[in-house]
Amino acid sequence: MKNIVILISGGGSNMAAIVRTAQAQNWAKQFNAQVSAVISNKADAKGLVFAKEHSIATAVIDHKAFADQPQPREAFDAALMAEIDKHQPHLVVLAGFMRILTPGFVANYEGRLLNIHPSLLPAFPGLHTHERAIEAGCKFAGATVHRVTAELDHGPILAQAIVPVLPDDTADTLAARVLTQEHLIYPKAVAELLAK
């Protein structure tokens, strides 16, 4: 079985879209694949509830627990890798996972690590993408599914979706419009990789 491990930090709506698509399209039969675990760096991430309701294994690795270690990021990533590797993943899918990963983590999952970012990369890597798109006067915004490389939000692009920026948009209204598209392109991009 090709195991998919999904990492979240919050609402987990992209994770839920992937889980729903996996069920609706019967990825188990079609690709011999399953979402085997959802892991969060926050115990109160709402997406964990959805995962449990769908009988998916969950785990929490709280990044704050590593704050007093000499190398907190490396220690957190090592603990995260240990948890992920219990599932021997075919793919590791970042879905609203709001931690910057160390080069060691990225190298460990090279070719298996995906992310979704709420902008039309290479425009607006980093945070506050919707505010920045509106401020820049962009007429279009969107989301990007990409492979993860050591440089933040810079890996090879697998899929993009474009939405208009409307004159009265706020960051929230634009984010909501983009998010509906994220829910379409992320499951599709994962399915395309599973089909290879």
Feature table: binding site for (6R)-10-formyltetrahydrofolate: 73, 98-101, 115
Pick the binder of ligand GAR from 138, 182, 187, 193 (CB under 6 A): 182
DSSP 8-state assignment for residue 153: T
Cα 113–chain centre separation = 9
What are the percentages of helix, strand and coil residues in the chain, rounded to 5? 40, 25, 35
Q: Which residues share a beta bridge with 2?
A: 33
> How far is Cα 51 from Cα 61, in angstroms, rounded to an integer?
16
Nearer to ligand GAR, 14 or 36 (CB): 14
Q: Is 18 in the site for ligand GAR (CB under 6 A)?
A: no
Is-catalytic flag, 117?
yes
Please pick, among 117, 130, 146, 183, the residue that the annotation labels catalytic: 117
Pick the binder of ligand GAR from 5, 6, 7, 14 (CB under 6 A): 14
Reading phi first (left if > 0) and then psi (alpha if -120 to 50, else beta), residue 117 is in beta
Cα 98–chain centre separation = 9
Pick the binder of ligand GAR from 12, 89, 155, 187 (CB under 6 A): 12
Nearer to ligand GAR, 10 or 72 (CB): 10
Q: Is 190 in the site for ligand GAR (CB under 6 A)?
A: no
Q: Is 40 in the site for ligand GAR (CB under 6 A)?
A: no
Pick the binder of ligand GAR from 35, 80, 116, 163 (CB under 6 A): 116
Nearer to ligand GAR, 89 or 182 (CB): 182
> How far is Cα 147 from Cα 7, in angstroms, rounded to an integer?
14
The number of helices, as runs of H, and strands, as runs of E, in the chain is 7, 7
Q: Is 95 in the site for ligand GAR (CB under 6 A)?
A: yes
Counted residue by residue, the chain has a size of 196
Residue 161's nearest CA partner among 173, 177, 172 is 177
Pick the binder of ligand GAR from 2, 3, 11, 171 (CB under 6 A): 11
Catalytically annotated residues = 117
Task: Give me the residues that bind ligand GAR (CB under 6 A), please.
Answer: 8, 10-14, 95-96, 116-118, 143, 179, 182
